[in-house]
């Protein structure tokens, strides 16, 4: 089966543009992949165009051969732009292979270990102006079926440190959400790499009484030894990996016992097979696996295929709160919760198709985040609330 054409489509979704790639074949099958990279989508599209000149005319089934060619033969390896482009194409090729075989991708990776994947909500807090609203919105998310919630309570951490006042506010947020949702809902705390190691440890110690499930990316991603230093001393489990690419960078992190939970993103780390490889590497050090996923439902579809067949999988990120038509961008809809979990799709390939009509209704835009910032003015606040996704 030969690759005949590769197209890129950008779809504006609130604060970034989703980037979809469609790989066409001479037998009519079309593979769908995603390479969303906020504010760098044109760079990714250009890299995909360059890689397409290598792939068009080739056998669509030779996924590993194409991956090695595109990774090694461009001389300048790695980096978020090249790896995002490569990941998008690789995901689309797995979709083609699954369709051709009449099997979901997880069957091609060894078969299913679970029927569903536990999910946590990220984005549920959009528009909260104070601690009271945050607590109420947390309760709303639980009423929608979520049993785990993630957010960043660390406003003010701009230079690696937080003032005593901002640190108290972070603790008050976590305490309020814990009291609002009770003891049976997991709280996951996102730090976006904002802290110096000592500050990260200080915050972990202050937040430990509220039993966070994990503290995500407490220090910048460049220094694996720094995150290992935090993890060895933290009373809270440490997660990281969304800004690491390929098994080689994760090997450094795992070698120093840097995290309790790895979070590779299939759209950036190298695609589906690389995601599964990183998870297997983590398994050898008893490190859990929770894929990062902050883009469209196609990112969720790719993650679920690996979640299904991975022994050390623990929980799956599920974005909410971006656009009210999120459910409609793919056919069929796959992000419906049942008991706090996402069912594993059983259709061939990734099991979804791009809804071209909906995609065409939301063409590329350069997002003006300042005009959508919650709380700036009443009109902007109203718009931010309107843009929240429908309940899962």
Does pTM surpass 0.85? yes
Instruction: Tell me the per-residue pLDDT of 336-392, one tens digit each, with 9 for 90 and over.
Output: 999 999 999 999 999 999 999 999 999 999 976 554 444 333 333 333 444 433 333
Q: Are residues 222 and 214 in contact, defined by beta-carbon separation less than 8 angstroms? A: no
Q: 19 has which bridge partners? A: 10
Ordered by start, the domain boundaries in the chain are: 3-103, 107-386
Instruction: Determine if residue 37 is left, alpha or beta; phi over 0 gives left, psi from -120 to 50 gives alpha, anything else beta.
Output: beta
pLDDT of residue 377: 33
> Rg of the Cα trace of the chain?
20
Q: Looking at domain 3-103, which CATH architecture does it have? A: 2-Layer Sandwich (3.30)
Q: 192, 239, 265: which is closest to 37 by C-alpha?
A: 265
The Cα 291–Cα 262 span in angstroms is: 7
Q: Do domains 3-103 and 107-386 have the same CATH topology?
A: no
Q: For the domain bounded by 107-386, which CATH number is listed?
A: 3.20.20.120
Instruction: Tell me the per-residue pLDDT of 67-123, one tens digit each, with 9 for 90 and over.
Output: 999 999 777 888 999 999 999 999 999 999 999 999 999 999 999 999 999 999 999
- State how far the alpha carbon of 270 is from the alpha carbons of 60, 61, 132, 220, 298, in Å: 17, 17, 41, 21, 15
CA atoms within 13 A on the CB side of 125: 21
Q: 9 has which bridge partners? A: 20
- State how far the alpha carbon of 214 is from the alpha carbons of 21, 35, 259, in Å: 33, 27, 10
| Residue 369 neighbours by CB under 8 Å, 6+ apart | 15
Active site residues: 192, 292
Task: Provide the pLDDT confidence category of residue 283 given band limits of 50, 70 and 90.
Answer: very high
């Amino acid at each position: 089966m030969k690759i005949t054409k590769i197209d890129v489509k950008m779809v504006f979704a609130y604060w970034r543009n989703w980037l979809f790639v469609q790989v066409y074949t001479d037998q009519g099958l079309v593979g769908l992949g995603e390479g969303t990279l906020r504010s760098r989508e044109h760079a990714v599209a250009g890299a995909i165009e360059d890689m397409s000149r290598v792939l068009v005319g080739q056998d669509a089934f030779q996924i590993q051969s194409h991956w090695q060619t595109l990774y090694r033969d461009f001389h300048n390896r790695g980096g978020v732009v090249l790896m995002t482009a490569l990941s998008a194409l690789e995901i689309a090729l797995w979709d083609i292979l699954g369709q051709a075989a009449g099997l979901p991708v997880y069957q091609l990776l060894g078969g299913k270990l679970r029927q569903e994947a536990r999910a946590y909500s990220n984005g549920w807090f959009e528009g909260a102006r104070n601690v009271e609203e945050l607590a109420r919105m947390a309760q709303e998310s639980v009423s929608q079926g979520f049993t785990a919630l993630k957010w960043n309570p660390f406003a003010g951490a701009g230079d690696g440190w937080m003032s005593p006042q901002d640190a108290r506010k972070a603790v008050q947020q976590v305490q309020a959400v814990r009291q609002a949702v009770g003891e049976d809902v997991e709280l996951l705390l996102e730090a976006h790499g904002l802290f110096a190691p000592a500050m990260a440890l200080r915050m972990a110690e202050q937040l430990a009484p509220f039993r966070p499930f994990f503290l995500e990316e407490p220090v910048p991603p460049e220094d694996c030894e720094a995150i290992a230093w935090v993890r060895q001393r933290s009373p809270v489990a440490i997660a990281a990996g969304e800004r690491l690419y390929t098994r080689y960078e994760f090997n450094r992190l795992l070698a120093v016992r840097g995290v309790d939970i790895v979070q590779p993103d299939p759209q950036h780390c190298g695609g589906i097979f690389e995601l599964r490889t990183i998870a297997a590497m983590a398994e050898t050090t008893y490190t859990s696996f929770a894929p990062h996923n902050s883009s469209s439902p196609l990112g969720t579809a790719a993650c679920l295929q690996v979640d299904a067949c991975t022994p050390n999988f623990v929980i799956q990120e599920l974005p909410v709160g971006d656009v009210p038509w999120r459910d409609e961008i793919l056919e069929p809809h796959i992000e419906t919760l049942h008991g706090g979990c996402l069912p594993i799709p059983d259709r061939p390939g990734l099991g979804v198709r791009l809804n071209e009509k909906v995609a065409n209704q939301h063409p590329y835009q350069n997002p003006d985040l300042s005009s959508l910032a919650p709380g700036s003015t009443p009109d902007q606040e109203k718009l931010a609330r309107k843009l929240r996704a429908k309940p899962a």
